[in-house]
């Protein structure tokens, strides 16, 4: 049947009809809110390139978590700004590190009953050079040494599990880290702690504002020898398959909006739960347009999240989580 028997506009006539035939929904429970924990008390330091995002001391983070729980968000993703940094990023796996302290405080709050606490596993916020692993000199210059880094990442994950995290989320992109983390968790008695692997993480300009928020910009070079080339879809699928073989329980795709085709391909590849990370640059470019009055804040926020769900992501890590939950209420 074609026009005039067929008229697509019939089902668009009223909001109730549109709601009845809507194929994709976003709910607050699909959204994960990132928090940047910093030392101190009563600290709420704005991140200049990310309006509405703050570095929070742990007491402030607990308050934020309570609000997140009230809004019905799915969970929190925790990053840390340590007191001091060193060559090997020891603040990442220190049992008294900033994320470990934060986890203990959040676990003790009532918010933790309703939220999934996810700890980012990476070294770049904790290393003096800002790279995601151990840096060594070679004949061709410096490189991030894969295998010795695995042990540091595994120690990080175990210390976060001890501090009470519900999920660990490795974002470093070293080869073999999911397997190393799984083995370390299992032998420390954390066989029930799931791994959310940033399986396909592209070397992206869209992480720029995050590096201000987390103070994690590399001091030299870039991350192209460990994060993926943005041109490569087939390689992303291999990364996912390898992480699943090593024991990943869920995968995280990142960035989201510039890589929706990769999320769709991942959805078709695997039945495991897939998250997508609407990263800092995606947030900041929308915020910049909102500030200029160039885009409608509420509609563009929800449409951006809808596009990510429609591409096949089950949940979304987003700095819009609280704002979006209020719009959806």
- Site residues (CB under 6 A) for ligand PBG? 120, 122, 124, 132, 171-172, 207, 210-211, 216, 223, 279-280
Q: Which residue's CB is nearer to ligand PBG, number 115 or number 256?
A: 256
d(CA 135, CA 148): 10
Does 134 qualify as catalytic in the annotation? no
Structure tokens at 289: 């347009």
Residue sitting closest to ligand PBG (CB): 210
Shortest distance, CB of residue 58 to ligand PBG, whole angstroms?
20
Nearest to 173 by CA among 203, 193, 143: 203
Structure tokens at 216: 């994690």
Q: Which residue's CB is nearer to ligand PBG, number 93 or number 207?
A: 207
Does 201 qualify as catalytic in the annotation? yes
Q: Which residue's CB is nearer to ligand PBG, number 33 or number 207?
A: 207
d(CA 74, CA 62): 16
Q: Which residue's CB is nearer to ligand PBG, number 211 or number 264?
A: 211
Question: Which residues face 137 on adjacent strands?
Answer: 142
Shortest distance, CB of residue 120 to ligand PBG, whole angstroms?
5
3-class secondary structure per residue, 263-315 = HHHHHHHCCCCEEEEECHHHHHHHHHHHHCCCCCHHHHHHHHHHHHHHCCCCE
d(CA 79, CA 76): 10
Shortest distance, CB of residue 118 to ligand PBG, whole angstroms?
11
Helix ranges (H only) for the chain are 15-20, 58-70, 98-108, 146-162, 177-187, 208-213, 233-246, 260-269, 280-291, 297-310, 321-328
Shortest distance, CB of residue 135 to ligand PBG, whole angstroms?
14
Q: Which of 113, 201, 224, 326 is catalytic?
A: 201
Q: Which residue's CB is nearer to ligand PBG, number 190 or number 226?
A: 226
Shortest distance, CB of residue 2 to ligand PBG, whole angstroms?
46
Shortest distance, CB of residue 50 to ligand PBG, whole angstroms?
8
d(CA 311, CA 149): 33
Nearest to 53 by CA among 39, 42, 66, 64: 64
Q: Which residue's CB is nearer to ligand PBG, number 280 or number 287?
A: 280
Q: Which of 85, 134, 254, 322 is catalytic?
A: 254
d(CA 178, CA 161): 15
From residue 159, alpha-carbon distances to 58, 171, 178 in Å are 18, 16, 16
Helix 177-187 vs helix 233-246: crossing angle, to nearest 10: 20
Q: What is the DSSP letter of 256?
A: S
Say if strands 274-278 and 250-254 run parallel, antiparallel, or are unpaired.
parallel
Shortest distance, CB of residue 235 to ligand PBG, whole angstroms?
17
Q: Which residues are catalytic?
A: 201, 254
């Amino acid at each position: 049947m074609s026009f005039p028997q067929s008229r697509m506009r019939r089902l668009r006539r009223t909001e109730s009809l549109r709601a009845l035939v809507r194929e994709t929904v976003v709910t607050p429970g699909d959204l994960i809110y990132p928090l940047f924990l910093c030392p101190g008390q009563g600290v709420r330091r704005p991140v200049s390139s990310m309006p509405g995002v703050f570095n929070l001391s742990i007491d402030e983070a607990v308050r934020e978590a309570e609000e997140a729980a009230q809004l019905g968000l799915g969970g929190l993703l925790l990053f840390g700004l340590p007191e001091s940094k060193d060559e090997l990023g020891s603040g990442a796996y220190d049992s008294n590190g900033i994320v470990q302290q934060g986890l203990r405080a959040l676990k003790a709050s009532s918010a933790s009953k309703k939220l999934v606490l996810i700890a980012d596993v990476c070294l770049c916020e904790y290393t003096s050079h800002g790279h995601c692993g151990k840096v060594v000199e070679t004949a061709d210059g410096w490189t991030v040494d894969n295998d010795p880094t695995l042990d540091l990442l595994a120690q990080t994950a175990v210390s976060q599990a001890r501090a009470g995290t519900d999920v660990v989320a490795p974002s470093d992109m070293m080869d073999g880290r999911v397997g190393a983390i799984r083995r370390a968790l299992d032998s420390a008695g954390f066989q029930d702690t799931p791994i959310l692997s940033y399986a396909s993480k592209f070397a992206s300009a869209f992480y720029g504002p995050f590096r201000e928020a987390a103070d994690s910009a590399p001091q030299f070079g870039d991350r192209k020898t460990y994060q993926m080339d943005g041109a490569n879809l087939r390689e992303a699928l291999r990364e996912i398959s390898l992480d699943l073989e090593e024991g990943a329980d869920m995968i995280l795709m990142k960035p989201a909006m510039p890589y929706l085709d990769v999320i769709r391909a991942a959805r078709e590849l695997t039945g495991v739960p897939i998250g997508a990370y609407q990263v800092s640059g995606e947030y900041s470019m929308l915020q910049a347009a909102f500030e200029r009055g160039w885009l409608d804040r509420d509609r563009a926020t929800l449409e951006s999240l809808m596009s990510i769900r429609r591409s096949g992501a089950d949940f979304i890590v987003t700095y819009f989580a609280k704002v979006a939950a209020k719009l959806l209420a």
